[in-house]
Structure 1
Amino acid sequence: MRFSANLGFLFTDLPLPEAIHAAHKAGFDAVECHFPYGIPASEVAQALRDTGLPMLGINTWPGDRGAGDFGLAALVGREDEARAAIDQAIDYASQIDATAVHVMAGITDGGALAETCFRANLAYASDQAAAHGIAILIEPINQRDVPGYHLSSSDHAARIITELGRKNLRLMFDCYHLQIIEGDLFTRFQAVRPLIGHVQFAAVPDRGEPDAGEVNYAWLLPAMVKAGHTAPFGAEYRPRGATTAEGLGWIGAFRG
């Protein structure tokens, strides 16, 4: 099995280029991150070249977190901001050869206007990204952690992907969120596997290292591989200890 370090949660005591090197040293096969925009793309690209690690994905800018934003793409009346964030992400991703951009939906009333807005922005994002060979990801996020998040089921995501009909629009299958939302993870994985662009994981319920909690990843991830998933799994968890390094024993155990 191959693993990607999500540098939004791992090695966060280091600047992003140094975190890429730390992930390489720790034995990860790829990296991904949340919001790299404060670091020049040239510095991130150099770190990726130096280590040989691919950057699997970045997120669109989430908006004003202090004001309650958690994404912009489904927010009616803020379409210009949403598309500026999409353009920013695609431009940055193209400079560092990232393979995907996660377009964050945001917190809405769940109504038809928000859904129409979200789909229009996703169509725009998919069409813009296609010219660069970049995938667009959408991720169901659980309502316990983010109440009101517009996209909170794999069925909803699958309908959007199918009905928009863009080949580069894919599902982010985050096991942490989907265990809280739906459970029965392997059955859900099999049901939507043709639509999946990336798989992430973390322990449930504490979102720590994947070697504890209610999900048996030592069984689940190899089962996903046997079912046909060949890409690295994204480790998007919050380390329980003082440092990322002290909690990395799971990598060897899972590969062993």
Structure 2
Amino acid sequence: MRFSANLGFLWAGLDLPGAIRAAAAAGFDAVECHWPYETAPEAVLAALAETGLPMLGLNTRRGLPGENGLAALPGREAEARAEIDRAIAYARAIGCGAVHVMAGVAEGPAAEAIFLANLAHACRAAPDLTILIEPLNRYDAPGYFLSRSGQALRLIERAGQENLKLMFDCYHLQIMEGDLSRRLQALMPIIGHVQIAAVPDRGAPDHGELDYRHICRVLRDLGWQRPIGAEYRPAGPTEDSLGWLPQLRAT
């Protein structure tokens, strides 16, 4: 298996080019980030070229404190689409393959209709990119519009866009639903990215409720070939938390 370093968690204390270089030195196969917009894309592109690592994905901006995204918020459609366009432009500038469109704190039919319209805009604006949606658990992200895989499946089916996919974050979905082996099997046709972290503490994927050796075997048997995103919070220096990496890579 191959693995991607989520730079927003693993090297949060470094600037983005420095974090890319740290991930390369640690032996990762790819990188991904959250909100790169304060860094000039030229600097990111240079670090990616230097290390040879691909940037797999980035997020749309979260909006105001507590909003956690804009794409499902009634009355914020123009701002949401501007942020989607900004994310697409940045992704293209650095050769990034996916944009995660963050829904925000909202609920109800109006929010769903707005989210679907904004997702359609994203998919049409970037047919060359993968547009991702991600269920977040209700403990870490209370009130977030999207919290379950079945809800994500329904949205993807309703949207009818080939480049709209599910971000299957094992940490969030284990907390909300469990039974990840069967969920991976059922949802594999719509999964665009997989992320891992220990449950319940969101630490390194070498302890807790989930046996990631098993999860990696399931993914391998299902034909998954893309890097898996390591999106966890190290308990100390990131380099001291990476004992899992050679173990899971050999699974």
TM-score by length of 1: 0.96
2:4 alignment counterpart: 4
The one-letter code matched in structure 2 to 1:215 is L
Mapping of 1:81-160 within 5 angstroms?
81-108=79-106, 110-130=107-127, 133-160=128-155
Q: Report the Cα offset of residue 227 of structure 1.
A: 1.3
What is the alpha-carbon distance in structure 2 between the residues aligned to residue 189 and residue 163 of structure 1? Answer: 20
1:166 alignment counterpart: 161
What is the alpha-carbon distance in structure 2 between the residues aligned to residue 223 and residue 136 of structure 1? Answer: 24
What is the alpha-carbon distance in structure 2 between the residues aligned to residue 103 and residue 216 of structure 1? Answer: 29
What is the alpha-carbon distance in structure 2 between the residues aligned to residue 7 and residue 86 of structure 1? Answer: 21
1:72 alignment counterpart: 70
Q: Report the Cα offset of residue 231 of structure 1.
A: 0.5
2:214 alignment counterpart: 219
Q: Which runs of 5+ in 1 are unaligned?
A: none
Q: Report the Cα offset of residue 69 of structure 1.
A: 1.1
Q: Report the Cα offset of residue 240 of structure 1.
A: 1.0
Identical-residue share of aligned pairs (%): 58
TM-score by length of 2: 0.98
Q: Report the Cα offset of residue 222 of structure 1.
A: 2.1
What is the alpha-carbon distance in structure 1 between the residues aligned to residue 8 and residue 153 of structure 2? Answer: 26
What is the alpha-carbon distance in structure 2 between the residues aligned to residue 140 and residue 94 of structure 1? Answer: 25
Provide Cα deviations, 1:123-156, integer angstroms capped at 9, x if missing partner.
00111011xx111000000111111110011111
The one-letter code matched in structure 1 to 2:49 is R
What is the alpha-carbon distance in structure 1 between the residues aligned to residue 187 and residue 247 of structure 2? Answer: 28
Q: Give every structure 1 segment of 4 or more consecutive aligned residues whose post-TM-superposition deviation is greater than 2 Å.
A: none
The one-letter code matched in structure 2 to 1:114 is A
Q: Report the Cα offset of residue 219 of structure 1.
A: 1.5
1:25 alignment counterpart: 25
Mapping of 1:201-220 within 5 angstroms?
201-220=196-215
What is the alpha-carbon distance in structure 2 between the residues aligned to residue 88 and residue 7 of structure 1? Answer: 20
Q: Which runs of 5+ in 2 are unaligned?
A: none
Q: Does residue 230 of structure 1 match 2:232? A: no
Q: Report the Cα offset of residue 163 of structure 1.
A: 1.6
The structure 2 residue matched to 1:254, chosen from 228, 232, 248, is: 248
Give the alignment's Cα RMSD to 1 decimal: 0.7
SS at match of 2:8: coil
The one-letter code matched in structure 2 to 1:245 is E
Matched residue count: 250
Provide Cα deviations, 1:99-121, integer angstroms capped at 9, x if missing partner.
0000000001x210000000000
Q: Report the Cα offset of residue 223 of structure 1.
A: 1.8
What is the alpha-carbon distance in structure 2 between the residues aligned to residue 223 and residue 134 of structure 1? Answer: 26
Q: Report the Cα offset of residue 11 of structure 1.
A: 1.2
